[in-house]
Protein backbone atom coordinates (compact mmCIF):
# COMPACT_ATOMS: atom_id res chain seq x y z
CA UNK A 1 0.00 0.00 0.00
CA UNK A 2 1.57 3.30 -0.97
CA UNK A 3 1.80 5.64 1.97
CA UNK A 4 -0.22 8.79 1.75
CA UNK A 5 2.56 11.17 2.63
CA UNK A 6 4.34 12.97 -0.16
CA UNK A 7 7.50 11.11 -0.88
CA UNK A 8 8.67 7.73 -2.05
CA UNK A 9 6.35 4.78 -1.91
CA UNK A 10 7.91 2.46 0.64
CA UNK A 11 8.55 4.36 3.84
CA UNK A 12 6.87 2.45 6.62
CA UNK A 13 7.78 -1.10 7.50
CA UNK A 14 4.95 -3.60 7.47
CA UNK A 15 3.55 -4.16 10.93
CA UNK A 16 4.46 -7.84 11.05
CA UNK A 17 8.09 -6.97 10.37
CA UNK A 18 8.14 -4.41 13.14
CA UNK A 19 6.63 -6.94 15.49
CA UNK A 20 9.16 -9.60 14.57
CA UNK A 21 12.09 -7.20 14.88
CA UNK A 22 10.90 -5.98 18.27
CA UNK A 23 10.42 -9.52 19.45
CA UNK A 24 13.94 -10.47 18.51
CA UNK A 25 15.34 -7.39 20.23
CA UNK A 26 13.48 -8.22 23.41
CA UNK A 27 14.71 -11.79 23.20
CA UNK A 28 18.24 -10.42 23.06
CA UNK A 29 17.99 -8.18 26.09
CA UNK A 30 15.57 -9.57 28.62
CA UNK A 31 17.83 -12.35 29.95
CA UNK A 32 20.46 -9.90 31.18
CA UNK A 33 17.80 -7.83 32.85
CA UNK A 34 16.60 -10.95 34.61
CA UNK A 35 19.95 -11.37 36.30
CA UNK A 36 19.71 -7.84 37.52
CA UNK A 37 16.43 -8.76 39.12
CA UNK A 38 17.71 -11.91 40.73
CA UNK A 39 20.65 -10.18 42.34
CA UNK A 40 18.18 -8.64 44.73
CA UNK A 41 16.05 -11.66 45.56
CA UNK A 42 15.76 -12.78 49.15
CA UNK A 43 15.47 -16.39 48.06
CA UNK A 44 18.64 -18.20 48.92
CA UNK A 45 18.37 -21.59 47.29
CA UNK A 46 16.16 -21.49 44.25
CA UNK A 47 15.42 -19.36 41.26
CA UNK A 48 11.80 -18.93 42.07
CA UNK A 49 9.79 -16.36 40.26
CA UNK A 50 8.39 -14.02 41.29
CA UNK A 51 11.09 -13.33 43.86
CA UNK A 52 9.73 -13.63 47.39
CA UNK A 53 11.36 -10.39 48.40
CA UNK A 54 14.07 -7.94 47.54
CA UNK A 55 17.24 -7.22 49.40
CA UNK A 56 20.71 -5.86 48.81
CA UNK A 57 22.49 -8.00 51.33
CA UNK A 58 23.91 -10.37 48.77
CA UNK A 59 26.20 -7.63 47.60
CA UNK A 60 27.75 -7.54 51.01
CA UNK A 61 28.05 -11.30 51.16
CA UNK A 62 29.66 -11.46 47.75
CA UNK A 63 32.17 -8.76 48.46
CA UNK A 64 33.17 -10.50 51.66
CA UNK A 65 34.20 -13.63 49.85
CA UNK A 66 37.92 -14.03 49.46
CA UNK A 67 37.71 -16.46 46.56
CA UNK A 68 35.71 -13.93 44.61
CA UNK A 69 38.36 -11.24 45.09
CA UNK A 70 41.16 -13.67 44.26
CA UNK A 71 39.41 -14.68 41.06
CA UNK A 72 38.69 -11.08 40.14
CA UNK A 73 42.24 -10.02 40.79
CA UNK A 74 43.60 -12.88 38.70
CA UNK A 75 41.30 -12.03 35.81
CA UNK A 76 42.39 -8.41 35.90
CA UNK A 77 46.07 -9.31 35.95
CA UNK A 78 45.72 -11.76 33.10
CA UNK A 79 43.68 -9.37 31.00
CA UNK A 80 46.10 -6.54 31.66
CA UNK A 81 49.24 -8.37 30.61
CA UNK A 82 47.57 -10.18 27.72
CA UNK A 83 46.29 -6.85 26.42
CA UNK A 84 49.74 -5.34 26.65
CA UNK A 85 51.26 -8.20 24.70
CA UNK A 86 48.47 -8.06 22.17
CA UNK A 87 48.97 -4.33 21.70
CA UNK A 88 52.63 -4.75 20.92
CA UNK A 89 52.37 -7.79 18.71
CA UNK A 90 49.23 -6.62 16.95
CA UNK A 91 50.62 -3.19 16.13
CA UNK A 92 53.86 -4.64 14.82
CA UNK A 93 51.99 -7.06 12.61
CA UNK A 94 49.66 -4.36 11.34
CA UNK A 95 52.56 -2.09 10.52
CA UNK A 96 54.32 -4.88 8.66
CA UNK A 97 51.28 -5.82 6.61
CA UNK A 98 50.49 -2.21 5.86
CA UNK A 99 53.92 -1.19 4.78
CA UNK A 100 55.27 -4.01 2.75
CA UNK A 101 54.15 -6.40 0.14
CA UNK A 102 55.64 -9.72 0.95
CA UNK A 103 55.01 -13.29 0.15
CA UNK A 104 52.14 -14.60 2.24
CA UNK A 105 50.70 -11.23 3.21
CA UNK A 106 47.11 -12.36 3.15
CA UNK A 107 48.11 -15.43 5.09
CA UNK A 108 49.10 -13.25 8.04
CA UNK A 109 45.55 -12.03 8.51
CA UNK A 110 44.28 -15.58 8.37
CA UNK A 111 46.93 -16.78 10.79
CA UNK A 112 46.13 -14.09 13.30
CA UNK A 113 42.39 -14.71 13.18
CA UNK A 114 42.69 -18.50 13.44
CA UNK A 115 42.66 -18.61 17.25
CA UNK A 116 39.29 -16.90 17.16
CA UNK A 117 37.99 -18.55 14.02
CA UNK A 118 38.58 -22.10 15.13
CA UNK A 119 36.46 -23.29 18.03
CA UNK A 120 37.89 -22.28 21.39
CA UNK A 121 38.25 -25.84 22.36
CA UNK A 122 40.75 -26.38 19.57
CA UNK A 123 42.95 -23.54 20.75
CA UNK A 124 42.52 -24.70 24.31
CA UNK A 125 43.51 -28.28 23.90
CA UNK A 126 46.25 -27.49 21.43
CA UNK A 127 47.88 -25.21 23.95
CA UNK A 128 47.36 -27.71 26.71
CA UNK A 129 48.93 -30.55 24.82
CA UNK A 130 51.89 -28.38 23.85
CA UNK A 131 52.39 -27.16 27.39
CA UNK A 132 52.19 -30.60 28.94
CA UNK A 133 54.45 -31.99 26.26
CA UNK A 134 57.00 -29.39 27.17
CA UNK A 135 56.54 -30.31 30.81
CA UNK A 136 55.76 -26.73 31.63
CA UNK A 137 53.68 -26.20 34.73
CA UNK A 138 50.30 -24.56 34.35
CA UNK A 139 50.60 -21.16 35.90
CA UNK A 140 49.46 -17.60 35.55
CA UNK A 141 51.80 -17.29 32.58
CA UNK A 142 50.27 -20.13 30.64
CA UNK A 143 46.92 -18.43 30.97
CA UNK A 144 48.42 -15.18 29.70
CA UNK A 145 50.03 -17.06 26.84
CA UNK A 146 46.71 -18.35 25.63
CA UNK A 147 44.91 -15.07 26.05
CA UNK A 148 47.52 -13.00 24.27
CA UNK A 149 47.40 -15.37 21.32
CA UNK A 150 43.77 -14.79 20.53
CA UNK A 151 43.78 -11.12 21.49
CA UNK A 152 46.41 -10.11 18.95
CA UNK A 153 44.00 -10.13 16.01
CA UNK A 154 41.63 -7.68 17.70
CA UNK A 155 44.35 -5.06 18.02
CA UNK A 156 45.70 -5.92 14.59
CA UNK A 157 42.40 -5.28 12.85
CA UNK A 158 41.88 -1.96 14.54
CA UNK A 159 45.38 -0.66 13.91
CA UNK A 160 45.44 -1.86 10.31
CA UNK A 161 42.12 -0.23 9.56
CA UNK A 162 43.37 2.99 11.07
CA UNK A 163 46.61 2.88 9.11
CA UNK A 164 44.74 2.36 5.90
CA UNK A 165 43.03 5.65 6.44
CA UNK A 166 45.55 8.29 5.39
CA UNK A 167 48.45 6.42 6.89
CA UNK A 168 50.89 6.67 4.03
CA UNK A 169 50.22 10.28 3.12
CA UNK A 170 50.77 11.39 6.70
CA UNK A 171 54.06 9.51 6.93
CA UNK A 172 55.21 10.86 3.61
CA UNK A 173 54.30 14.41 4.53
CA UNK A 174 56.17 14.13 7.80
CA UNK A 175 59.29 12.80 6.14
CA UNK A 176 59.05 15.39 3.42
CA UNK A 177 59.16 18.04 6.12
CA UNK A 178 62.33 16.63 7.59
CA UNK A 179 61.34 14.17 10.30
CA UNK A 180 63.07 10.82 10.38
CA UNK A 181 61.42 7.51 11.12
CA UNK A 182 61.48 7.76 14.90
CA UNK A 183 60.29 11.36 14.95
CA UNK A 184 57.52 10.54 12.54
CA UNK A 185 56.51 7.69 14.75
CA UNK A 186 56.45 9.82 17.85
CA UNK A 187 54.81 12.94 16.51
CA UNK A 188 52.56 11.66 13.77
CA UNK A 189 51.97 7.94 13.83
CA UNK A 190 51.42 7.41 17.51
CA UNK A 191 48.79 10.14 17.92
CA UNK A 192 47.12 9.03 14.71
CA UNK A 193 46.95 5.48 16.01
CA UNK A 194 46.16 6.31 19.60
CA UNK A 195 42.44 5.86 19.30
CA UNK A 196 42.83 2.62 17.39
CA UNK A 197 45.22 1.31 20.02
CA UNK A 198 42.89 2.32 22.78
CA UNK A 199 39.89 0.77 21.07
CA UNK A 200 41.76 -2.41 20.24
CA UNK A 201 43.15 -2.57 23.73
CA UNK A 202 39.75 -2.21 25.32
CA UNK A 203 38.29 -4.91 23.11
CA UNK A 204 41.21 -7.20 23.86
CA UNK A 205 40.78 -6.57 27.58
CA UNK A 206 37.11 -7.43 27.45
CA UNK A 207 37.76 -10.50 25.34
CA UNK A 208 40.36 -11.76 27.77
CA UNK A 209 38.38 -10.92 30.87
CA UNK A 210 35.36 -12.84 29.67
CA UNK A 211 37.13 -15.87 28.25
CA UNK A 212 36.51 -19.25 29.79
CA UNK A 213 37.02 -22.07 27.29
CA UNK A 214 40.70 -21.64 26.49
CA UNK A 215 41.34 -20.60 30.08
CA UNK A 216 39.94 -23.87 31.36
CA UNK A 217 42.60 -25.68 29.42
CA UNK A 218 45.53 -23.44 30.15
CA UNK A 219 45.12 -22.91 33.87
CA UNK A 220 46.26 -25.18 36.62
CA UNK A 221 44.66 -24.60 39.97
CA UNK A 222 44.04 -20.94 39.40
CA UNK A 223 40.56 -19.59 38.94
CA UNK A 224 39.80 -16.60 36.85
CA UNK A 225 36.46 -14.98 37.46
CA UNK A 226 34.67 -16.73 34.58
CA UNK A 227 35.99 -20.07 35.76
CA UNK A 228 34.77 -19.22 39.23
CA UNK A 229 31.31 -18.49 37.86
CA UNK A 230 31.33 -21.66 35.84
CA UNK A 231 32.09 -23.68 38.91
CA UNK A 232 29.22 -21.99 40.69
CA UNK A 233 26.74 -22.79 38.00
CA UNK A 234 25.64 -25.97 39.71
CA UNK A 235 25.88 -24.98 43.37
CA UNK A 236 22.55 -24.06 44.89
CA UNK A 237 24.02 -22.57 48.05
CA UNK A 238 25.91 -19.80 46.35
CA UNK A 239 23.35 -18.71 43.85
CA UNK A 240 22.62 -15.24 45.09
CA UNK A 241 26.34 -14.50 45.37
CA UNK A 242 26.79 -15.76 41.83
CA UNK A 243 24.14 -13.35 40.69
CA UNK A 244 26.01 -10.45 42.19
CA UNK A 245 29.29 -11.60 40.72
CA UNK A 246 27.55 -11.91 37.37
CA UNK A 247 26.64 -8.26 37.50
CA UNK A 248 30.21 -7.32 38.36
CA UNK A 249 31.48 -9.28 35.37
CA UNK A 250 28.93 -7.67 33.08
CA UNK A 251 30.08 -4.23 34.12
CA UNK A 252 33.74 -5.06 33.78
CA UNK A 253 33.36 -6.38 30.25
CA UNK A 254 30.72 -3.92 29.20
CA UNK A 255 32.41 -0.72 30.17
CA UNK A 256 35.70 -1.22 28.29
CA UNK A 257 33.83 -2.16 25.16
CA UNK A 258 31.56 0.82 25.49
CA UNK A 259 34.60 3.05 25.77
CA UNK A 260 36.20 1.39 22.78
CA UNK A 261 33.04 1.90 20.81
CA UNK A 262 32.77 5.56 21.68
CA UNK A 263 36.39 6.14 20.78
CA UNK A 264 36.15 4.37 17.47
CA UNK A 265 32.86 5.83 16.39
CA UNK A 266 34.40 9.24 16.63
CA UNK A 267 37.11 8.26 14.24
CA UNK A 268 35.98 5.33 12.13
CA UNK A 269 34.68 1.89 12.92
CA UNK A 270 35.82 -0.65 15.47
CA UNK A 271 36.49 -4.18 14.41
CA UNK A 272 35.59 -7.01 16.69
Shortest reach from residue 95's CB to other proteins, in Å = 5
Shortest reach from residue 21's CB to other proteins, in Å = 4
Q: With contacts defined by CB under 8 A, name the span among 11-19, 59-67, 157-165, 189-197 that binds other proteins.
A: 11-19
Shortest reach from residue 150's CB to other proteins, in Å = 9
Per CB under 8 A, the list member of 15, 28, 66, 266 interacting with other proteins is 28
Binding mask 191-230 toward other proteins (x if CB under 8 A, else -) reads ---------------x--xx-xx--xx--------x--xx
Footprint on residues 87-126 left by other proteins (CB under 8 A): 88-90, 92-93, 95-97, 99-100, 102, 108, 111-112, 114-115, 117-123, 125-126
Per CB under 8 A, the list member of 17, 64, 136, 173 interacting with other proteins is 17
Q: With contacts defined by CB under 8 A, name the span among 62-70, 161-169, 178-186, 192-200 that binds other proteins.
A: 178-186
Per CB under 8 A, the list member of 143, 145, 159, 199 interacting with other proteins is 145
Interface with other proteins includes 54 (CB under 8 A)?
no
Residue 248: is the preceding peptide bond cis (ω within 30°)? no
Quote the CA–CA distance of 129 and 136 in Å, as a whole number.
10
Binding mask 146-165 toward other proteins (x if CB under 8 A, else -) reads --xx--x-------------
Burial 149-165 (b: 16+ CB within 10 A, else e): bbbbbbbbbbbbbbbee
Interface with other proteins includes 261 (CB under 8 A)?
yes
Shortest reach from residue 127's CB to other proteins, in Å = 5
By beta-carbon proximity to other proteins, the closer residue of 12 and 194 is 12
Number of residues that bind other proteins (CB under 8 A): 91
Amino acid sequence: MPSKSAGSFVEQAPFSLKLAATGVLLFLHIPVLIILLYAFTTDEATYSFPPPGLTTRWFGVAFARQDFWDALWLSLRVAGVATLLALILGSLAAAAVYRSKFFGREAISVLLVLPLALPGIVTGIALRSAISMGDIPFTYWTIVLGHATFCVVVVYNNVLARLRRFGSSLIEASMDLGADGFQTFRHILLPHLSTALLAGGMLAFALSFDEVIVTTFTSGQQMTLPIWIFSQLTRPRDRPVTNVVAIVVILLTFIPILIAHRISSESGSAHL
